[in-house]
Amino acid sequence: MSLEGRRIEIRGTVQGVGFRPWIWRLARENGIGGRVSNDSRGVTIEAFGGNRALESFLDGIRASPLPAAEIRELLCETIPPELSHEFVIVASRRAGELQVSIPPDLATCEDCLAEIFDPADRRHRYAFTNCTRCGPRFTIAREVPYDRAATTMAPFRMCALCQAEFDDPANRRFHAQPNACPACGPAIEALSGSGEPAFWEDPIRGAALALRADLIVALKGLGGFHLACDATSSAAVERLRRRKHREEKPFAVMVRGIEEAEAVAQLSREERELLLSPERPIVLVRRRDGTALAPEVSPDNPLVGLLLPYTPLHHLLLSDAGRPLVMTSGNLSEEPIVCGNGEAVRRLASIADVFLVHDREIESRCDDSVARIVAGGPVLLRRSRGWVPRSIPVREPFEEPVLACGGHLKNTFCIGMGPCAYLGPHIGDLENLETLAVFEEAVERLERFLRVEPEIIAHDLHPQYVSTLYARDTRAGRKFAVQHHHAHVASAMAEHGLSGPVIGVAWDGTGYGPDGTAWGGELLLCRLESYERLATLRPVPLAGGETAIREPWRIALALLRDAFPEGLSLERLPLFARVDRRALELARQMLEAGVNVARARGVGRYFDGFGSLFLSRPFSRHEGQIALAWNVAADPEQQGSYPFRVDLAASPPELDLRPMLRGAVSDFLSGVSAGAISGRFHNTLATAAGALVRLAVERAGNLPVVLTGGCFQNALLAERVVSQVEQADGPRVFLHRRVPPGDGGLALGQAVVAGALARRPSE
Ligand code: ZN
Ligand code: ZN
Ligand code: FE
């Protein structure tokens, strides 16, 4: 047998996931000598052995069985052989071009879980148990490469036992950077509502008792604080709502395991898999009737967001409490999630009765991710913990690094670099300085991890968005303003590796158009660097502008006036009996005179208006509440639909939904249920989308179709549109999967558009 040598370079998520120890074992199994090292680009292996052994070693790597690892690229070249009998792991090198190789945070693995619940184990009930396959990563990382000294575990010195595990390549904790035990690692402490130490012997058990007594516990999780209460107690849930100033928006519920999830919700196989995935997102599922869950958890909503425990602390708390717990972000309404101990006591004292804190710092805020199953596959609605900072490969590499600043609501940002884009964590609504500070900090951190300072800056076209102001006033470089719906379509293109042109159906609530009006029912023919608007939605006049979004009865009124020019007696519609007479009269006058009226083209406004009208709900207590209520009211068995028109004389052509409203009002007045009307409403929109796409196909050919924008978080709508468009010989339809269809995915689209524009030779 002759000795040969190979250098193998691996890119992807290969650090902090137990990759090197696994390579070490694989090398030993195959009788390979050499070395493996981490560097800022990934993992490099130099392997020496016989040809057969090397081949089998390589096959083993390619088969990569590690759940959290992701091999994006594997380069192999022949190098001169070295006579080495040993295979060693060498220390990290800091060099070269950088890619973020820090993995996302990983849910507690089965092995660690067994230890926590084993009274004989030295980690029995230890809340910071982890190994190379699980535990905190992104949220504790301060620098790259990902090494203990560069994490918030640096102040904890490993005890002899932990160090021995850390140094033993055959151990599950070999180079597990956050490795810890009760003797040497972080510790849990309970504080009273005013922040004084509670001196409980077992803080977790104490907190569980408090929860069982209807108290509210603020607990320090992985990417921030959660507020928890007993999800089976109406009194506890109502107390939390009152204190958090969150009247009706659904709370997420953490259940102990998949059996408990099945007990409170109807789960499909896909939903079960999504709940159990190592990313552990909140999954929107259909709740069962008459379960132990308090109705106040998600009032008037057949859906509930469930998630499984993903840290040892959650497992212990859920097990001690013995019931499902509300687990909601530790913040006041839409503020950023709290992550420091002092900050928690300061900002959450008016909400929490007990604090469960610890002394490991959270370096990066990272909210729970939210997902649901649409058309048989998962769609991320909020991409954060578990996914950030995983890269998204793009088809056309970025020639220069790009920073995209995202939108206004549900903001995320994105850095594009080389062959990858990196979406940052969920920041929230950029409406105040506090959120802006969190945004800036998160941008700086990811820039540091990637060692870049992008000078190509992408932002929304809206001149007043905080993200636009940040891009314009505080960043240097070439700026590219990207239209909102163009960015939505480009985001879907990037996710699916489509180079364009594509037909984009971009339906959402609102996005700034170059004409200064609110777009949101757009049919676009898109390339990355440009778009053409093929059709839009007939605009709705919003009386009182933005107020109409909080008071959707105004939208209902405007839609009715538009659809019934001959007039319609409002007496017969119970909605208007719930509206103040003077406000109604004033809105009517405004619409009449066209004063203080904004024209809006968002499909989302139809959901608001129809929901308000047919559910007789004049007000929206949180963003999108009525639209969601109208969506979930739909009877999916409904096959009927309403007429609509496409006005080809308009420029661009306009989808005219007035005939739909006339049909729906006539149904309503003859006693048809709101559920049936909503079902027909969804079918009508789907048929209309199909008609619009056919229009685009006639113009531009059988191009791929992407469905994007917040409206496609609506599973029923998305599924119906897919089946309308994907008829025989129809074009192929792409839904968002790993990037949110809503504004949380906007930054990715901005980044690839700016990347494409920057590549063009300047004239
Ligand atoms: Zn583990
Ligand atoms: Zn230890
Ligand atoms: Fe949008």
**281 Cβ partners below 8 Å, 6+ apart?**
274, 307, 368, 369, 370, 371, 380, 386
Looking at all shown ligands, the one closest to residue 123's CA atom is: 2
Q: How far is the CA of 186 from the centre of ligand 2 (A)?
A: 10
Quickly list DSSP for 207-254.
HHHHHHTT--EEEE-SSSEEEEEETT-HHHHHHHHHHHT-SSSPPEEE
Average pLDDT in the 217-229 region?
96
Band (pLDDT 50/70/90 cuts) for residue 96 is: very low
Q: How far is the CA of 751 from the centre of ligand 1 (A)?
A: 36
Q: How far is the CA of 312 from the centre of ligand 1 (A)?
A: 10
Q: How far is the CA of 164 from the centre of ligand 2 (A)?
A: 9
Three-class SS of 346-360: HHHCCCCCEEEEECC
Both tokens of 733, joined, read 């339809």
**Greater pLDDT, 25 or 85:** 25
Looking at all shown ligands, the one closest to residue 509's CA atom is: 3
Q: How far is the CA of 13 from the centre of ligand 1 (A)?
A: 17
CB atoms within 10 A of CB 702: 12
Looking at all shown ligands, the one closest to residue 68's CA atom is: 1
Q: How far is the CA of 287 from the centre of ligand 2 (A)?
A: 42
Residue 229 main-chain phi, psi, to 5 deg: -155, 170
Share of the chain above pLDDT 70, in %: 98
pLDDT digits (tens, 9 = 90+) for 234-293: 999 999 999 998 888 999 999 999 999 999 999 999 999 999 999 999 999 999 999 999
Looking at all shown ligands, the one closest to residue 184's CA atom is: 2
Q: What is the pLDDT of residue 294?
A: 97
**535 Cβ partners below 8 Å, 6+ apart?**
522, 523, 646, 652, 653, 654, 655, 692, 695, 696
Quickly list DSSP for 605-665.
HHHHHHHHHHHT----SSTTHHHHHHHHH--TT-------EEETTSSS-EEE-HHHHHHHH
Q: How far is the CA of 133 from the centre of ligand 1 (A)?
A: 5
Both tokens of 160, joined, read 């002899």
Q: What is the pLDDT of residue 628?
A: 94
pLDDT digits (tens, 9 = 90+) for 427-466: 999 988 889 999 999 999 999 998 899 999 999 999 999 9
Q: How far is the CA of 749 from the centre of ligand 3 (A)?
A: 11
Q: How far is the CA of 70 from the centre of ligand 1 (A)?
A: 18
Looking at all shown ligands, the one closest to residue 180's CA atom is: 2
Average pLDDT in the 732-751 region?
97
Q: How far is the CA of 176 from the centre of ligand 2 (A)?
A: 12
Which amino acid is residue 22, in one-letter code? W
For 296-384, strand residue ranges (E) read 303-307, 325-329, 354-358, 370-374, 377-382
Q: How far is the CA of 176 from the centre of ligand 1 (A)?
A: 9
Weakest mean pLDDT among 166-175, 221-230, 281-290, 373-382: 166-175
Q: How far is the CA of 219 from the centre of ligand 2 (A)?
A: 23
Q: Residue 248 CA to chain centroid, in angstroms?
A: 21
Band (pLDDT 50/70/90 cuts) for residue 97 is: very low
Q: What is the mean pLDDT of the chain?
A: 93
Q: How far is the CA of 161 from the centre of ligand 2 (A)?
A: 6
Go through the domains of the chain in sequence order and give each one's CATH number. Answer: 4-89 (3.30.70.100), 110-167 (no CATH), 188-358 (3.90.870.10), 374-501+742-759 (3.30.420.360), 535-735 (3.30.420.40)
Q: What is the pLDDT of residue 13?
A: 80
Q: How far is the CA of 163 from the centre of ligand 2 (A)?
A: 7
Q: Which of 17-21, 457-461, 722-726 has the highest mean pLDDT?
A: 457-461
Q: What is the pLDDT of residue 160?
A: 98
pLDDT digits (tens, 9 = 90+) for 329-346: 998 766 788 889 999 999
Q: How far is the CA of 171 from the centre of ligand 1 (A)?
A: 11
**477 Cβ partners below 8 Å, 6+ apart?**
454, 455, 456, 457
Band (pLDDT 50/70/90 cuts) for residue 1 is: low
Q: Is the pLDDT of residue 92 over 70?
A: no
Q: How far is the CA of 18 from the centre of ligand 1 (A)?
A: 10
Band (pLDDT 50/70/90 cuts) for residue 93 is: low
Q: Is the pLDDT of residue 202 over 60?
A: yes
